[in-house]
Amino acid sequence: MTWPGHAGVQHMGHATAAAMPGRDSDTGAWTQSDWARFRLASIVEASDDAIIGTDLNGTVTHWNHAADARFGYTVDEIVGRSITRVVPPDRIDEAAAVYVRIRQCEGVVRYETERRHRNWNVVPVSLTLSPIRDGLNRVIGVTKIVRDLRVPRRIHLELRRREALLRSILDTVADALIAIDGCGLIQSFSAAAERLFGFTAGEVIGRNVNVLMTTPYRREHDGYPARPGETGERHGIGTARIAVGRRENGTTFPMELVVEDANLPGEVLFTCVIRDLTERRNRERRLDESRAALIHASRLNELGRMVSAASHAVDQPLAAMANTIGDARQRLAAGDQFGARRAVERIAEQAGRAREIVRRHRELARQASTERRIENLPETIEEASALALPGVDDGLKLEIQVDDDASEAVIDKVQIQQVLMNLMRNAVEAMAHSERRELTVSATRAGAMIEIRVADTGPGLPARVRLGLFEPCVTTRPDGMGVDLSVCRAIVEAHGGELYGEDGDGGRTVFRLTVPRPGEPASGQAR
């Protein structure tokens, strides 16, 4: 193999000496150029990378200590000999072609290849070749920086192995795993997340995580993940919370969300573990329905006992009224006006007594102990929807809208959630045969109260039901008993609010309930 170039071996120092001033001829002191060359030589010798100089024929002119260790040849053994000693036979043509490029003044050339150790072991290396020029800017040699790639490649292969292992684990985990940065932008999206949300990783990576959330959690997640990294707060970090996720097709599902800080140096990154609660909620719903049936039967039995007691208690004043009416008739027939007036007064007393008995039994029937405190209304509604709608098919679309000035209410959270769950389930059943199935729950300020609306796209309330909707034993369901809505109204009224239903636009049914705002008396309910 003939290398391109001219004959002759030149040491790197000799090749550049003609272009540099030497020691001062009068004093023998080192010039500035001498010191510069000395410093450069020191840097070359101290480098961990092999630095080699050759002429354009490929003859070695310089060989630093790192090259000794890299290839097993000492300076005395290699300087003045061909660089092909360290080039594998199948790489000779490749090396010669690079020298042609250097001679054609292409500048710095970088590439990865292989070189051979003295013991014949082949080593992967990264080469950076630069031309050496003389004082007339002619290319007279080549400088090579050789970097051993064995360790970086082992690290790279190990990282790839670990990444593949981690990816296989993530792809087999049933829970969805998502990584987001400090701005809430999605950085990774597992296979389980793709199955759960209906998005592909390519569709969501780089987008804000709120694309997976329903309103109002979309606004909450716009800046939420950045706060722990910026302020040191750990609001919600590491704790499980119940939320409602939004699929690509707009449908929703209940989920358990846990956010953890990845603790990466110099980078804000969070991992989100999301578990679909649909099946769990289905089981809980079936248990709730069984429990509700028992409570329903118990309430009916209690209602029967209360009606029996009330009728027995009212029977006495009614019997007294009947007897007194007969006495009054006789006195009127006899012309005894004074006696007749006294009889009428006794009738009025017995009527008042009957009315008081009925009032007391009504209060007893509606009495409920409430533990009211200031609650976050968006979370209250979200949790109620997650509990009420786990078994609903994908055709239902849920939208939750809460105004900023209606985000807190003074309520017994459990009782109000029972009301909301009942209204939502009724709405879903009403839309069972509707072509468009949309459920909207909204909250706005209404004076001293907050008005919550539950609206569906069902057929609306039948005329026979609308007037007596909250009366006992009135229902819109063929197999219903009419107890739920009367109990719901009693709960809302115990909070100082009102519950009523009406037809909305386009045949929609809208139920409205009012609850008090913090710091304001619940004296006026607004419709």
Q: Name the more confident of 21 and 463.
A: 463
Q: Which helix (H) or strand (E) holds 331?
A: helix 278-333
The verdict on 237 and 289 lying in the same domain is no
Alpha carbon distances (Å) from 219 to 210, 385, 472, 491: 8, 18, 41, 31
Determine the pLDDT at residue 242.
Answer: 82
The verdict on 357 and 433 lying in the same domain is no
Q: Which helix (H) or strand (E) holds 194?
A: helix 191-197
Task: Kindly give, in sequence order, each residue whose CB lies less than 8 Å from that of residue 296, ignoring residues fewer than 6 positions away.
Answer: 481, 483
- Encode 140-172: b = buried (16+ Cβ within 10 Å), e = exposed: bbbbbbbbbbeeeeeeeeeeeeeeeeeeeebee
Read out DSSP for 471-511?
A: STT--SSTT--SHHHHHHHHHHHHTT--EEEEE-GGG-EEE
How many angstroms separate the CA atoms of 435 and 448, rounded?
38
How many angstroms separate the CA atoms of 510 and 461, rounded?
9
Average pLDDT score, the chain: 78
* CA dihedral angle for residue 131, residue 134, residue 140, residue 146, rounded to 10 degrees: -30
Q: Taking the CB of residue 16, how many other CB atoms lie within 10 A of it?
A: 19
Helix (H/G/I), strand (E/B), else coil: 57 = coil
The verdict on 289 and 236 lying in the same domain is no
Which residue(s) pair with 445 in the sheet? 450
Helix (H/G/I), strand (E/B), else coil: 435 = coil
Mean pLDDT of 386-409: 81
Mean pLDDT of 122-151: 89
Determine the pLDDT at residue 323.
Answer: 83
Q: Domain boundary at 323, 341, 366, which?
A: 366
In a domain, 7, yes or no: no
Task: Determine contact, residues 327/343, Cβ cutoff 8 Å.
Answer: yes
Number of domains in the chain: 4
CATH code of residue 413? 3.30.565.10
Query: How, if at all, do strands 499-503 and 509-516 pair?
Result: antiparallel
Lookup: tokens for 60: 């070695």
Does 482 score more than 70 pLDDT?
no
The verdict on 235 and 184 lying in the same domain is yes
The verdict on 164 and 268 lying in the same domain is yes
In a domain, 500, yes or no: yes
CATH code of residue 128? 3.30.450.20
Determine the pLDDT at residue 298.
Answer: 57
How many angstroms separate the CA atoms of 153 and 438, rounded?
56
Q: Domain boundary at 366, 389, 420, which?
A: 366
Query: How, if at all, do strands 122-133 and 109-116 pair?
Result: antiparallel
The verdict on 350 and 411 lying in the same domain is no
The verdict on 389 and 504 lying in the same domain is yes
Determine the pLDDT at residue 217.
Answer: 54
The pTM for the full model equals 0.42
Determine the pLDDT at residue 227.
Answer: 44
In a domain, 406, yes or no: yes
The verdict on 130 and 183 lying in the same domain is no
Task: Determine contact, residues 271/225, Cβ cutoff 8 Å.
Answer: no
How many angstroms separate the CA atoms of 52 and 144, rounded?
5
DSSP state of 405: G
Mean pLDDT of 108-130: 91
Determine the pLDDT at residue 524.
Answer: 42
Over the stretch 97-112, which tens digit does the pLDDT of each residue have? Answer: 999 888 887 788 999 9
The verdict on 380 and 503 lying in the same domain is yes
**Pick from 228, 243, 134: which is nearest to 184 by CA?**
228
In a domain, 173, yes or no: yes
Q: Name the more confident of 355 and 19.
A: 355
Over the stretch 304-324, which tens digit does the pLDDT of each residue have? Answer: 666 666 666 677 777 778 888
In a domain, 522, yes or no: no
The verdict on 77 and 202 lying in the same domain is no
How many angstroms separate the CA atoms of 273 and 42, rounded?
55
Q: Domain boundary at 320, 338, 366, which?
A: 366
In a domain, 5, yes or no: no
In a domain, 47, yes or no: yes
**Pick from 194, 214, 275, 199: which is nearest to 397 by CA?**
214
The verdict on 452 and 382 lying in the same domain is yes
The verdict on 395 and 502 lying in the same domain is yes
pLDDT band with cut points at 50, 70 and 90 for residue 230: very low
**Pick from 86, 274, 257, 94: which is nearest to 193 by CA?**
274
Q: Helices in 58-143 by DSSP H: which ranges?
A: 65-71, 75-78, 92-103
Can you give the residue range of the structural domain that contains 259? 154-276
In a domain, 527, yes or no: no
